C-alpha cells in the first residue's frame, strides 16, 4: 500500500509540474497578431498621409494654374513655379499643397537644377 501511495503521489506531482511548465514561455497568439497589425496600420497611415499630401499639392497647383498669374522667368528658391496673388504677393506651392510666400529678393532667375 505504501508503494502504491508513493507512486500515485509522485505521478500526481509530475503531472502538476509538467502542466505548469507547459504554460510558461509562450507568447499569446493575440500579441503576435496585434504587433503585426500595428505595423500594417502604421504603414497604411504613412502611405495615406503621403497620398493626401500629393493630392493636395496637385489640386492646389491646378487651381493656381487656372486662377493665378504666373510670374514668368522667376522660380522659388526650391525651383518651384512662382505665382502672384491678388495682393501682388509672390508665392509658390510646396509639396504639401500649402502656399509659401517669398520676397522678390528670394526669387531665382534661373530654374533650380537638381
Whether 82 is in a domain gets the answer yes
Q: Which domain holds residue 64?
A: 28-114
Q: What single DSSP character describes residue 17?
A: H
Whether 89 is in a domain gets the answer yes
CA-based nearest residue to 108, from 85, 86, 92: 92
Which has more confidence, 67 or 12? 67
pLDDT of 89 reads 94
| pLDDT at 49 > cutoff 70 | yes
Per-residue burial over 67-78, b if 16 or more Cβ lie within 10 Å, else e, is ebeebeebbbee
**pLDDT tens column, 91-110:** 999 999 999 999 999 999 88
C-alpha grid cell for residue 48? 495615406
| pLDDT at 77 > cutoff 70 | yes
Whether 101 is in a domain gets the answer yes
What does the chain come to in residues?
Answer: 114
pLDDT of 110 reads 80
Predicted TM-score of the model (pTM): 0.60
| pLDDT at 33 > cutoff 90 | no
Split into its structural domains, the chain has a count of: 1
Per DSSP, the residues of 47-64 read: HHHHHHHHHHHHHHHHHH
Contact 102, 76 (CB under 8 A): yes
Instruction: Give phi and psi for 106, each to the nearest 5.
Output: -85, -10
Whether 54 is in a domain gets the answer yes
pLDDT band per the 50, 70, 90 thresholds, residue 4: confident
pLDDT band per the 50, 70, 90 thresholds, residue 38: confident
Amino acid at each position: 500500500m505504501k508503494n502504491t501511495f508513493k507512486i500515485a503521489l509522485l505521478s500526481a506531482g509530475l503531472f502538476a509540474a509538467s502542466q505548469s511548465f507547459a504554460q510558461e514561455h509562450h507568447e499569446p497568439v493575440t500579441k503576435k497578431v496585434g504587433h503585426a497589425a500595428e505595423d500594417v496600420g502604421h504603414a497604411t497611415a504613412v502611405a495615406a498621409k503621403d497620398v493626401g499630401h500629393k493630392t493636395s499639392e496637385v489640386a492646389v497647383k491646378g487651381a493656381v494654374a487656372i486662377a493665378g498669374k504666373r510670374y514668368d522667368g522667376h522660380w522659388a528658391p526650391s525651383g518651384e513655379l512662382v505665382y502672384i496673388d491678388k495682393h501682388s504677393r509672390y508665392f509658390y506651392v510646396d509639396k504639401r499643397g500649402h502656399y509659401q510666400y517669398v520676397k522678390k529678393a528670394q526669387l531665382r532667375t534661373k530654374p533650380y537644377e537638381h
